[in-house]
Structure formats: structure tokens, C-alpha cells
């Protein structure tokens, strides 16, 4: 299998087990939505592994001790609407102080090009590490456009967290945004003629929101 230096595949057994349930076409909306959130929460552990720490003094009931807390930059989560919304609560469960920006993009079904319809970012985004969330990285058009919008507002670190990535999308981001690291639960085989990831899980937005 092709390897990419801009990609980390999170192969933790809990993530892989949950991903199998997502892929199953018989999984219903309620369970699908819950599991997207759970995977996002589990992926956040690795996506934030490089957060810097600083020493602080804490007085326990028994003694004063040196502990460590997160230092410096805080986090902004940016879901790509709609499907990215399904991952936000999972990240917030373990990074509750994160701010949330939104980028509305949909993929034109004929051209597969992203079309922007909404963008609202935290005003202090330039002092935060940005984690873009979207379950699917297919052609990479949506993610690349989202990264472009965010780069107009910050020079800081941007990461992308997705559930399934296609090699085409990973390759495109390596060319257009080599500084952005991608975290995924799976690197799938390819895209089909309609731009869907194979084997994938189908249309993530429709399965999260029950619109098909
Ligand atoms: C899906 C998905 C990504 C995009 C990936 O969204 O959630 O945003 O497609 O495809 P790409 O890598 O080829 O750009 P979609 O456009 O279906 O919109 P939705 O989230 O509103 O369903
Ligand atoms: N968007 C999806 O929701 N699924 C795919 O397989 C590709 C793009």
C-alpha cells in the first residue's frame, strides 16, 4: 500500500471496531451518528498528542507536587458542513474549551468541485491550533478549499481529522497543503466514477442526518 508522510492512520482496535459498524450499510442513523462521535473522540487523543505541556504546582490534600497542564495555544475545531458536524461533540467531550468555527461547503455532484455557502470563524483563530473535522476525504477538494479559507485567517498549525481518506485526497493535500497533517481511521482503496470512496461507507452526511 502507498504510504504518505502527511498521513497518520489510527489503527487502535476500538477505532477499527467502530469503523466496521459505520461501514455496514445496515447500520441505522442513530447508531451511525453515535459512532461517528465516538470515533472522533478517540481520534482526538492522537491528533492532540503533540500539545505542549508546562509545569504547575498543585497542592493535593497530602503535599505540594509538580503537575503538568496544557500550555500555549488552545484549540479551534472547524467542521466542514454538514457531515463534519457529526464529529464536533466527540472532540468537545475531551477538549471542552475549544472554540468552534464552521465552513459550509458542498460538493457539486457533476463537477465534484466544492461550493462555499457559509464561513464563520472564532475571532481569535490565529492564536489557536485548528483541527478541521470531516468524516470523508475523497477528492480532497472540500478539505483543500477549507484549509485555504482558514489560512487566510491564521498562520498557525492546521490539522485535518477524517474517518476515511482516499489516496486521491491525501495526494492532493500533500501537493496543495503539505504543512497540514491528516489523521484518519482508514486509508481506503480508491474513488469510484461518482467520486465516492471505495469501499467507504457511502454518503456520510446522509447517513448522519438521515436524509436518504
Ligand atoms: C462530503 C464530505 C466532504 C466531501 C468530501 O460532503 O463530508 O465534505 O463530501 O469530498 P471531496 O473530498 O471530494 O471534496 P458533501 O459535499 O456530500 O456535503 P454534506 O456534508 O452536506 O453531505
Ligand atoms: N463524500 C461522502 O460522504 N462519501 C464519499 O464516499 C465521498 C464523499
Task: Decide if pLDDT at 48 tops 80.
Answer: yes
Confidence grade of residue 33 (pLDDT, cut at 50, 70, 90): very high
What's the pLDDT at 129?
95
pTM: 0.95
Confidence grade of residue 209 (pLDDT, cut at 50, 70, 90): very high
Residue range 178-200: mean pLDDT, rounded: 97
Task: Decide if pLDDT at 73 tops 80.
Answer: no
Neighbours of 198 (CB within 10 A): 10
In the reported structure, the alpha carbon of residue 50 is separated from the centroid of ligand 1 by a whole-number distance in angstroms of 28
Residue range 79-84: mean pLDDT, rounded: 96
Task: Decide if pLDDT at 1 tops 80.
Answer: no
Task: Decide if pLDDT at 44 tops 80.
Answer: yes
| Ligand 1 pocket, residue 82 CB under 6 Å | yes
In the reported structure, the alpha carbon of residue 96 is separated from the centroid of ligand 2 by a whole-number distance in angstroms of 28
Tens digits of residue pLDDT in 119-139: 999 999 999 999 999 999 999
Task: Decide if pLDDT at 188 tops 90.
Answer: yes
Confidence grade of residue 67 (pLDDT, cut at 50, 70, 90): very high
Residue range 25-38: mean pLDDT, rounded: 98
Task: Decide if pLDDT at 82 tops 90.
Answer: yes
Taking the C-alpha atoms of residue 159 and residue 166, their distance in angstroms, rounded to an integer, is 17
The mean pLDDT value of the chain amounts to 96
For the question of residue 124 being annotated catalytic, the response is no
> Active-site residue among 11, 24, 50, 111?
111
Tens digits of residue pLDDT in 137-166: 999 999 999 999 999 999 999 999 999 999
Neighbouring-strand partners of residue 7: 182
For the question of residue 107 being annotated catalytic, the response is yes
Amino acid at each position: 500500500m502507498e504510504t504518505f508522510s502527511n498521513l497518520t492512520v489510527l489503527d487502535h482496535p476500538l477505532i477499527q471496531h467502530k469503523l466496521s459498524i459505520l461501514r455496514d450499510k445496515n447500520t441505522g442513523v442513530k447508531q451511525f451518528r453515535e459512532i461517528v462521535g465516538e470515533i472522533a473522540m478517540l481520534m482526538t487523543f492522537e491528533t492532540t498528542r503533540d500539545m505542549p505541556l508546562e509545569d504547575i504546582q498543585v497542592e493535593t490534600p497530602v503535599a505540594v507536587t509538580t503537575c503538568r497542564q496544557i500550555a500555549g495555544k488552545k484549540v479551534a475545531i472547524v467542521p466542514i458542513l454538514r457531515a463534519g458536524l457529526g464529529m464536533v461533540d466527540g472532540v468537545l467531550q475531551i477538549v471542552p474549551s475549544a472554540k468552534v468555527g464552521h465552513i459550509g461547503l458542498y460538493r457539486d455532484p457533476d463537477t465534484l468541485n466544492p461550493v462555499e455557502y457559509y464561513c464563520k470563524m472564532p475571532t481569535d483563530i490565529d492564536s489557536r491550533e485548528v483541527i478541521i473535522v470531516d468524516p470523508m476525504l475523497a477528492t480532497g477538494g472540500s478539505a483543500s478549499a477549507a484549509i485555504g479559507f482558514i489560512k487566510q485567517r491564521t498562520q498557525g498549525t492546521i490539522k485535518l481529522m477524517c474517518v476515511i481518506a482516499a489516496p486521491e485526497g491525501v495526494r492532493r493535500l500533500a501537493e496543495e497543503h503539505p504543512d497540514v497533517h491528516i489523521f484518519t481511521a482508514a486509508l481506503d482503496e480508491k474513488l469510484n466514477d461518482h467520486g465516492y470512496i471505495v469501499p467507504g461507507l457511502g454518503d456520510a452526511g446522509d447517513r448522519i442526518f438521515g436524509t436518504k
